[in-house]
């Protein structure tokens, strides 16, 4: 079975200006393509789930995670990155 090159990125934290801009900027700079995005604000908490294509990335997965983690710390956000296959396995019914 072919391994998926799609990742699931989740973001959670207090709402503030520039969250989507900051995260999408990192993805654009590393050539990671956003395939789908859903975001909402629940009583002041920002939540976002992105499905991205990692195929043409100019960095490895560990480096991408590190870049997003650094940005998350800077903005006070919890950002997680998982392979789609792992995400599906962990959230199966």
Q: Which of 40, 46, 58 is nearest to 16 (CA)?
A: 46
Give the pairing of strands 77-83 and 6-14.
antiparallel
Q: Tell me the per-residue pLDDT of 80-93, one tens digit each, with 9 for 90 and over.
A: 999 876 656 565 65
Give me the mean pLDDT over the 25-51 stretch: 96
What's residue 44's pLDDT? Answer: 87
Residues 72 and 70: their CA atoms lie apart, in Å, by: 5
The DSSP element (H or E) to which 20 belongs, if any, is: helix 19-29
Mean pLDDT of the chain: 90
Phi-psi region of 45 (alpha: psi -120 to 50; beta: other; left: phi over 0): beta
- At 68, give phi and psi (nearest 5°): -70, -35
Tens-digit pLDDT profile for residues 66-75 = 999 999 999 9
What does pTM read for this prediction?
Answer: 0.86
- Inform me whether the pLDDT recorded for 62 exceeds 70: yes
Domains detected in the chain: 6-90 (3.30.70.260)
pLDDT at 38 over 80: yes
């Amino acid at each position: 079975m072919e391994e998926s090159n799609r990742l699931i990125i989740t973001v959670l934290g207090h709402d503030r200006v520039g969250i989507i801009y900051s995260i999408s900027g990192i993805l654009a700079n590393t050539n990671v393509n956003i395939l789908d995005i859903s975001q909402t604000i629940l009583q002041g908490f920002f939540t976002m789930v992105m499905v991205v294509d990692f195929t043409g990335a100019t960095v490895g997965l560990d480096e991408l995670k590190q870049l997003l983690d650094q940005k998350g710390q800077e903005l006070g956000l919890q950002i997680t990155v998982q392979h789609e296959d792992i995400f599906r396995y962990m959230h199966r019914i």
